[in-house]
Structure 1
Amino acid sequence: MTHPGPATLPLLAHTQPDAVVAWRHDGPVTVERFLGDVWRLAAGLPDGKHVLNVCADRYRFTVGLAASLVRGKISLLPSTHTPETVRQLRVFAPDAFCLTDSPACDIDLPQHRFPDFEEATPSPEGCAVPMIDVDQTVAYVFTSGSTGAPMPHPKTWGALVRNIAAEADRLGVVGTPFTLIGTVPPQHMYGFESTVLLALLSGGSIWSGRPFYPADIAGALDAVPRPRVLVSTPFHLRTLLAADAAVPPADLVVSATAPLSGNLAVAVEAQLQCPLIEIYGCTETGQTATRRTAETAEWQLMRGLRLSVEDGKVWAHGGHVETPTMLGDIIEPTSGDRFLLHGRSADLVNIAGKRSSLGYLNHQLNAIPGVVDGSFFMPDDEQSDGVTRLTAVVVAPGLDRATLLQALRERIDPLFLPRPLIFADALPRNATGKLPRAALEELRRTLGGE
């Protein structure tokens, strides 16, 4: 355990041993119980320095993270757990082991099963909150393979604490006994920050489950006291509204991982009877800006962050961003700490001298009445015979191809109409609502097109 000092910060913001840090199906978990579980798990962890924590139960994941921290271990947070990703992790960290709470886990690493802590055991350290060195590397977060070869980005405790402090301030949850319900996995950077660290470092609590279907989300909201915060994605929120089911009110909705339309934001606020705050960020910088999407298209930078433009590239620096970092997005600074986001630089499309972005095209496609879900993408062979052709995959059970193409012609330049336009029963989104490029390519090969 790191002893208190000027270069340490606490693991928890909670100050009372009976404060609630988590909610499980059998009731609340106090700080005293949590710390006892942390030290019991920490005592039995293997010697390896690197941990792949794949616990599906959010409380167990959080205990595993805290136990790793007090033992000086580093959590590995890749974007997927495919066999190829695991092989890459073994090369990167040969001493890595997998912490799991599933007997069916088939990840090819030495496995350590999360113990069955049925009874509360007092922490050997009492209720003293562990202090963590600000320079300690907490995790390596890996960039998504969809934007290039996975690359590790170290996250130190000090930078993460500053990031979460700025988020808590912006969301207005400081000093509030809120409960976080997350539809995103804690292993994803967004879920890691906004469903785990936000609770630990701001005095809130987490819901241990990960509701996915609308009925599960409604059940989770009903299972915890107010104030409650739903941390979700545009995909999950769109599915929730489409279900047209009774959903208990929330006190705040947070969304990230993909751009959210203003219309969807307005509908979510009406359904859940609370504000919706959208977060913009990336693996390299963490959370960078927020906006209330129902009211404005402008983003506001997190506390202490600044943007600078050099040679047409936008750099983020200050605040929790420890070194100037280039952003891979098309950003238009407006005034002060505000900016507009026009999509990813890699999403730019140029056809016959006309330019657009996949983000803009996707927004127009999903705004068409009757479209449940849809996405444009550029196939691997898009430059065949020197002709750029976009593909779109869409879930629109009540529309035919001619009707949908006519609706698109009214919204986008005909040069960007998809060829082919593929209809599917569902899109192959992952747990955070993103569409891996490889999955889209496989869907295109399987379903074909025009």
Structure 2
Amino acid sequence: MSEPVLPLVSGHALQGTLAWTPRGPVSVARYCADVQALARWLPAGRWVINLVEDRYHCAVLLGACAVSGRVSLQPSSQSHAVLRQLAGAYPGCHALLDAAPAQPLPVPTLQMPPLAAGAAPAIPQVPRDATVAVLFTSGSTGQPTPHAKTWGRLMANGRSEARSLGLDGCPHTLVGTVPAQHSYGFESTLLLALHGGCAFWSGKPFYPQDLADALDAVPRPRLVVTTPFHLAHILASHVRLPAVDRWLSATAPLDAALAAQVEQDSSAPVHEIYGSTESAQLATRRTVQGAEWTLMPGVQLEQQGDTTWAHGVHVEGRVQLSDVLAVQPDGRFTLLGRHADMVNLAGRRTSLAYLNEMLRGIDGVQDGAFFLPHDDALRQVGRLAAFVVAPDVPAASLQAALRERIDPVFLPRPLVQVPALARNATGKLLRATLEQLYRDWAAASFPREGGDAA
């Protein structure tokens, strides 16, 4: 990839279908015309906050930024606090939405204009080293941080994923339940279409029936880009889905039993993506075939002790990973847990991810998560806590089931039953959410004068 400029779309010819919308298919030529029209319409300024919900609009905004020297800012949250941070960090930015906001936002806003009805005669070119997007971490363990992405790396990303999943020889229609602004949704719907030869559905179905309707609207073969959270709810709903030819999951480890059940019910393989906002996607696996991950083409790992770095053709630089990996000589690896999630109690070591998997695997458990307080002000009992959604299972039964699955030193005290766990759009539980649940439990269990449970 030594060329100074690269095409906006490399996976299709001009007349190929890039997207499907409720109005029908959208060709590459139509997409390029929409991109150029939006690029001319956008006001002066380098930064555009991407708040559009429609996946096709998101792709058009990305393209408009790429061809006009602008940058698409893609926050993981649309909270007022996050938007105020962006306004301060990126002077002169505007937010683009599909429709007028329900309430005023703390940044200047624009509404997506009507798109062109024409067809571009050629695919625009984009400078290879141009920064076209800034993605932000989810903030699951702290403050969201920005990560700039250049066009050449993004193009290589889409191509690498297509090769890794075998989609370069058999393009699928992509139906994503995750936001296009999030790194996983961005890579596995938009980039996989722009540079991997696939097409994508413009919507973002959340509920199982919405997913069924979306699948009905697009041709086979179909690939659903989703999360473990969504997969579990799809199975529990018993909604009958149109044929799915492949499933793709990320954002959290997928339980092997859940993957096996999805494969049995749908007769379609379930694959996972491993990566991060910082590093981009790095590896894939078919969950039912074992715990080992296979690196994507062009990715290399380096290790020193428990620390691993990733680099390669689509990775922006040399990125230190947040996970502890066991890497084999051939490059395949298994995940031992996140550095921040590793727990060492009484000389025994495990990860919160493993403990969560054991908890969620108990019959009757709908959701659950372990929590290790790091803040002295939060510590009340000096050991792990867990929050669980299991309305029909007594706490004593949950503890008994856990005792059969994990070392007793990791048994949670307390184990708190809650009606639901508030997850974000990609199914992640933010640490701040668990901290607040722990504070609420501590305030009720250790009342202090004035209601202070610190």
TM-score of the superposed pair, with normalisation by structure 1: 0.93
CA separation in 1, counterparts of 2:238 and 2:341? 33
- What are the superposed Cα offsets for residues 327-381 of structure 1, whole Å, 9 maximum, x if unpaired? 1101001230200101101001122332221011001101111111111112354
| Aligned position for 1:296 | 290
Distance 1:325 1:56 in 2: 30
Q: Which residue of 2 aligns with 1:225?
A: 219
Query: What is the rounded CA distance, in whole Å, between the counterparts of 1:69 and 1:34 in structure 2?
Result: 13
Q: Could you tell me which of 190, 198, 207 is aligned with 1:213? A: 207
Any residues of structure 2 matched to 1:21-420 within 5 Å, and which?
21-104=18-101, 106-117=104-115, 120-123=116-119, 126-381=120-375, 388-420=382-414
Report deviation, 1:177. 4.1
State the alpha-carbon separation in 2 of the partners of residues 54 and 25 from structure 1: 20
SS of residue matched to 1:103: coil
Q: Distance in 2 between matches of 1:147 and 1:364?
A: 21
Distance 1:319 1:14, change over 3 A: closer
Greater CA drift, 408-417 or 338-347: 408-417
SS in structure 2 opposite 1:203?
coil
Contact persistence 1:54–1:98 (CA under 8 A): yes
Local SS of the residue matching 1:343: strand
8 Å contact kept, 2:158–2:194: no
Deviation, 1:384, is 6.3
Of the candidates 430, 434, 449, which is equivalent to residue 436 of structure 1? 430
Q: Is the 8 A contact 2:75 2:135 kept in 1?
A: yes
Question: 1:8 is matched by which residue type in structure 2?
Answer: V
> Is residue 14 of structure 2 the alignment partner of residue 17 of structure 1?
yes
* 2:363 aligned counterpart, secondary structure: coil
Separation of aligned partners in 2, 1:102 and 1:394: 37
Instruction: Work out the CA distance in 1 between the residues paired with 2:121 and 2:37.
Output: 14
Displacement of 1:304? 1.6
Query: How far apart, CA to CA, are the structure 2 residues paired with 1:15 and 1:242?
Result: 37
Contact 1:12 1:203 in 2 (8 A): no
Partner amino acid, structure 2, of 1:194: S
What secondary structure sits across from 1:202 in the alignment? Answer: coil
Distance 2:149 2:379 in 1: 45
CA distance in 2, matches of 1:104, 1:320: 35
Matches of 2:341 and 2:14 in 1, distance apart? Answer: 49
Contact 1:134 1:158 in 2 (8 A): yes
- Contact kept, 8 Å, 2:248 with 2:271, in 1: the verdict is yes
Shift of 1:446: 4.4
Distance 1:31 1:384 in 2: 54
Deviation (angstroms), 1:93: 0.6
What is the percentage of aligned positions where both structures have the same residue? 50
Q: Deviations over 1:75-103 (max 9, x none)?
A: 11222122221122122211211011121
Q: Does the 8 Å contact 1:180/1:228 carry over to 2? A: yes
User: In structure 2, how many angstroms separate the alpha carbons of the residues matched to 1:372 and 1:352?
Assistant: 30
Equivalent position amino acid for 1:52 in 2: I
- Unmatched segments (≥5 aa) in structure 1: none
CA contact (8 A) 1:49 1:73 kept: yes
Deviation at 1:260, TM superposition (A): 0.5
**What is the Cα deviation at residue 285 of structure 1?**
0.9
SS of the residue aligned with 2:20?
strand
Query: What code does the residue aligned with 2:252 have?
Result: A
Shift of 1:386: 8.8
Whether the aligned pair in 1 keeps the contact of 2:3 and 2:128 (CA below 8 Å) is: no
CA 1:399–1:67 in 2, change beyond 3 Å: closer, same or farther? same
Q: Aligned partners of 1:316 and 1:357: how far apart in 2?
A: 21
**Which residue pairs with 1:8 in the alignment?**
5
Q: Is the 8 A contact 2:272 2:286 kept in 1?
A: yes
Kindly indicate whether the alpha-carbon contact (under 8 Å) linking 2:84 and 2:107 is maintained by their aligned counterparts in 1. no
Evaluate the alpha carbon distance shift between residue 357 and residue 220 of structure 1 in structure 2; reply closer, same or farther with a 3 A threshold.
Answer: same
Alignment check: 8 A CA contact 2:247 2:268 kept = yes
Q: Which shows bigger deviation, 83-92 or 254-263?
A: 83-92
Q: Which moved more, 1:167-176 or 1:53-62?
A: 167-176
Distance apart, 1:14 and its partner CA: 4.9
Residues 428, 440 of structure 1: 8 Å contact kept: no
Q: Deviations over 1:404-434 (max 9, x none)?
A: 1110111112221222212122210000000
| Residue identity matched to 1:18 | Q
Rounded to whole Å, the distance in 2 between the matches of 1:361 and 1:65 is 39
Q: Which residue type is aligned with residue 342 of structure 2?
A: L
Secondary structure class of the residue paired with 1:404: helix
Q: 1:447, CA displacement in angstroms? A: 5.9
